[in-house]
Structure 1
Amino acid sequence: MNNGHREQWASRIGFILAAAGSAVGLGNIWRFSYVAGEQGGAAFVFIYLIAILLIGYPLMVTEIAIGRKTQKNPIGAFKSLAPDTPWWIVGALGVLTAFVILSFYSVVAGWSLAYTFKAFGGFVPGLDYEGIFISHITDVYMPIFWHAAFMILTLVIIASGVVKGIQRWSKVLMPLLFAILLALVVRGLTLEGAGAGVAFYLTPDFTEISGETFLTALGQAFFTLSLGMGALITYGSYLSQKENVSDSAGWVVGMDTLVALLAGFAIFPAVFAIGFDPAGGVGLAFITLPAVFAEMPLGGLFGFLFFLLLTIAALTSAISLLEVVVAWLIDEKGWDRLKASMLMGLIIFVVGLPPTLGYSVLSGVTIFGMDILDTYDFLSGNILLPLGGLLTSIFAGYIWRAKSVIDEANNPKGKIVFGQWYGYVIQYLLPLAIGAVLIWGIISTFIE
């Protein structure tokens, strides 16, 4: 056990920006946009916002409270609150989840980093952007190079520490992210024909809503807030007892949701203005949008800004994912930060090689009928994340007890006060909702 001085965020805004950076990632911009497109636009967004409020926010407060109360990594936190019980396994699940997610998240982030540089050459109308993307991911060496480049960026920040690394860079990257996103929103909204995209995004058609829409919105809310992966427990462990948990979490949720909503205003008006399909699936960012930028005045500049935005969002999330694993080694094994960062970064890079090569030399390998990257994504997003969230909510509601979470969330008292209503949410609503997402994720993959 590491008994040395434990770092804390130097300021409340440092924690908020870092935690918001953890929540803001590819899920807000890349995944939110194509899922909203596939699920019918405004109706999905409406349900998503309700899910954020009723499910996402209470669980985020719970995770931050666990970390702040114990001042430990996820495994140490559960050991501290439930000593001599197997509940530490829930913390271990969070560490494992962060490890698995970062291993393939870095691959996709590497694509974004590569496209940031591709955008320097501009996007030319009429090119086969689907072919260009396929050519990129089926190459053997270039995806490995960009995967490594992205992991190195993440390592450099984590190795520098909580204040000098994570907090310092969050204060730079998050304002930059918002500035770029606002520029893209203005560009999208001023295109001729953008009104159709705004209407698609803001006019709900509730006849399109199905059970799948509700579950997809719940899953997206869960995924985008970095819940169930130990990141918020870890970040909460660096939070001073002087700072209010519920208010800080409110700012994080607000910033995360604002980025997702703004991303829709940046993407859908542009897609409709140029005449493309908003339900572009996972290829929306790397196939559809380059074609959109090619048709747009100053498209090269705005294409560069978009992929820079995507890369920054991915980096702020990757930092939190690696910190979960590194904090465990520092707290539980007594390692120094540099050694822990370098070793785990290298291992995660190696574990990420199979999905990196999954479209080239390992393209014939399928697991459960999925390619390697989709398998990693399924295991983490459909199994590990909701399972971790489900067990955390059960632990908070029945083992640590809802009153303990309420006391920690309200100490010191903030503008958002947690009352008895929280007990009903954490004991009944969250387990039922997250359990439904977990079951649906498995059924939709193997049965439909």
Structure 2
Amino acid sequence: MERENWTSRLGFILAASGSAIGLGNIWRFPFITGTNGGAIFILIYLAAILFIGYPILVSEMSLGRITAKNPIGAFKKMAPDTAWPLVGALGVLSGFVILSYYSVVAGWGMSYIFKSLSFTAESNFPAIFLGHISSFTEPIIWHGIFMFLTIAVIGAGVVNGIQKLVKVLMPILFVIIFLLIIRSVTLEGAAAGLSFYLKPDFSAIDFQTFADAISQAFFTLSLGMGAMITYGSYLSKKESISESAGYVLIFDTAVALLAGFAIFPAVFAFGLDPASGPGLTFITLPAVFTQMPFGTFFSFIFFLLLTIAALTSSISMLEVVVAFLVDEYEWKRKKASYLMGFLIFLIGIPPLLGYSSFSNFSFLGMDVLDTYDWFSNSIFLPTGGILTSIFVGHIWGSRNAVKEANKNSRFKIGNIYSILLKYIVPTAVLFIMLFNIYQTI
């Protein structure tokens, strides 16, 4: 079976950036920044992106391109008759689990595109949000619609599905976010939000700040779940991995930072709490929008932005699973897309019901969705990142990875990349992973 390739470098960069840009940027990054002191968290996050995220991103892309395989097939080809393909299997499992609850949250955002049209200053936003997530019919319908869109894109293929979609959606995403920023920073009282966002408060630093920054870097760049290995496997030998990875890093980080400029000035302008956790998106921001001129319009486009970002990421997660079945078992793409998509939809039912039928469930004090998220972000992704960095740095060899990444490149990586990949990355990520486990238990 002939394997598809991206038809252009831009197509690959937009697709990989789309994978990285998702709920992690628009939903997760603002509330984690808010709960970790604002600007100081951003500085640590940027360091984590550069010194931990970039080396793993380059490694996964290089591993994918040199093998032209899915995550399991890539490790199998590079280290046959060993246990290393289990690392790829962990990536496939991660994408499977994350997409199941990711689609639930994306469904919330999609429903708010339409709910926001009827919001008023008198609306009881906590009750609206709780009423939505604690019901059965509405969340499951939106979860199903979002998964169907994801399945349809992947079923259409790499070029006609993923590449075509991201070429349309990524420019729209940037236009929307800039409109939101212009509205937010021109509000009276926005200066306090900009100060919170841009002026570091070093007294706010603790170890949790570092842990959250590194976890966010993994989540937002789609690392450790096989997405970048899979996308790299469709990349032409003529393209530069070191440069392409740099562009992905820049686009992803830019959207996360821009989301903060769109959100924090508005939150402070209306005297609301930036540390309101996940409720920042579905409770605090709707309240903000109803108090500003043309608020209904801006609320509508914000949740449209959230949904677009979620979709460009969800397709990469499903593609990991589908590529595995297409490569290893020669399944037809449409068959793999619809069957696996439906199975993921079913696995998303428990977290969806975690606020209603399964509301009595508790794992270490967490509900079902938070449990899925904790295993994914505290166990699966960092373990995948640690083992991938060890494999590329020591088994395949960082010199070989550097050679592959530097092909046709004007921006060369070398000794610093090797040192980071072989020693700094696995040590730092392991330390943070153990800290997160200890904090939870």
Q: State the TM bucket, normalised to the shorter chain.
A: over 0.9
2:175 to 176, 179, 182: 179
1:324 to 320, 323, 331: 320
Q: 1:262 matched to which residue of 2?
A: 258
Percent identity over the alignment? 59
Q: 2:267 matched to which residue of 1?
A: 271
Q: 1:160 matched to which residue of 2?
A: 156
**Matching of residue 58 in structure 1 with residue 55 in structure 2:** yes
**Matching of residue 249 in structure 1 with residue 245 in structure 2:** yes
State the secondary structure of the residue aligned to 1:228. coil
Give the Cα–Cα distance (whole angstroms) in 2 for the partners of residues 212 and 362 of structure 1: 29
State the secondary structure of the residue aligned to 2:197. helix
Q: 1:312 matched to which residue of 2?
A: 308
Give the Cα–Cα distance (whole angstroms) in 1 for the partners of residues 219 and 308 of structure 2: 18
Q: 2:369 matched to which residue of 1?
A: 373
> What amino acid is the match of 1:431?
P
Q: 1:418 matched to which residue of 2?
A: 413
**Shift in Å, 1:359:** 0.8
> What amino acid is the match of 1:250?
G
Q: 1:431 matched to which residue of 2?
A: 426
> What amino acid is the match of 1:258?
A
CA offsets 1:392-415 (integer angstroms, 9 cap, x no match): 011111111111101100112x12
CA offsets 1:163-201 (integer angstroms, 9 cap, x no match): 000000000111111110010000101111111100110
2:106 to 104, 109, 112: 109
Any residues of structure 2 matched to 1:3-152 within 5 Å, and which?
4-121=1-118, 123-152=119-148
> What amino acid is the match of 1:397?
G
Q: 2:382 matched to which residue of 1?
A: 386
Q: 1:405 matched to which residue of 2?
A: 401
**Shift in Å, 1:444:** 1.5
Give the Cα–Cα distance (whole angstroms) in 2 for the partners of residues 365 and 280 of structure 1: 23
**Shift in Å, 1:295:** 0.7
Instruction: Please tell me the root mean square deviation across aligned C-alpha atoms, in Å.
Output: 0.8
Give the Cα–Cα distance (whole angstroms) in 1 for the partners of residues 416 and 206 of structure 2: 28
Unaligned runs of 5+ in 1: none
**Shift in Å, 1:362:** 1.4
Structure 1 residues 322-331 or 216-225, which shifts more? 216-225
State the secondary structure of the residue aligned to 1:204. coil
Give the Cα–Cα distance (whole angstroms) in 1 for the partners of residues 440 and 150 of structure 2: 32
**Matching of residue 355 in structure 1 with residue 351 in structure 2:** yes
Give the Cα–Cα distance (whole angstroms) in 1 for the partners of residues 296 and 199 of structure 2: 31
Any residues of structure 2 matched to 1:215-254 within 5 Å, and which?
215-254=211-250
Give the Cα–Cα distance (whole angstroms) in 1 for the partners of residues 103 and 211 of structure 2: 26
**Shift in Å, 1:368:** 2.9
**Shift in Å, 1:274:** 0.9
Give the TM-score normalised by the residue count of structure 1.
Answer: 0.97
CA offsets 1:197-221 (integer angstroms, 9 cap, x no match): 0011000111221122122111111
> What amino acid is the match of 2:414?
G
> What amino acid is the match of 1:337?
R
Give the Cα–Cα distance (whole angstroms) in 2 for the partners of residues 38 and 239 of structure 1: 38
**Shift in Å, 1:120:** 2.3
**Shift in Å, 1:314:** 0.5
State the secondary structure of the residue aligned to 1:79. helix
**Shift in Å, 1:382:** 0.8
> What amino acid is the match of 1:93?
L
Give the Cα–Cα distance (whole angstroms) in 2 for the partners of residues 175 and 7 of structure 1: 24
State the secondary structure of the residue aligned to 2:355. coil
Give the Cα–Cα distance (whole angstroms) in 1 for the partners of residues 432 and 92 of structure 2: 21
Give the Cα–Cα distance (whole angstroms) in 1 for the partners of residues 37 and 122 of structure 2: 28
> What amino acid is the match of 1:368?
L
Give the Cα–Cα distance (whole angstroms) in 2 for the partners of residues 204 and 367 of structure 1: 35
**Shift in Å, 1:46:** 0.8
Q: 2:439 matched to which residue of 1?
A: 444
**Shift in Å, 1:425:** 0.7
Give the Cα–Cα distance (whole angstroms) in 2 for the partners of residues 427 and 309 of structure 1: 38
**Matching of residue 345 in structure 1 with residue 341 in structure 2:** yes
- Aligned pair count reads 441
**Shift in Å, 1:119:** 1.5
Give the Cα–Cα distance (whole angstroms) in 2 for the partners of residues 14 and 422 of structure 1: 26
Give the Cα–Cα distance (whole angstroms) in 2 for the partners of residues 128 and 212 of structure 1: 33
> What amino acid is the match of 1:433?
A
CA offsets 1:33-52 (integer angstroms, 9 cap, x no match): 00110111011111111111
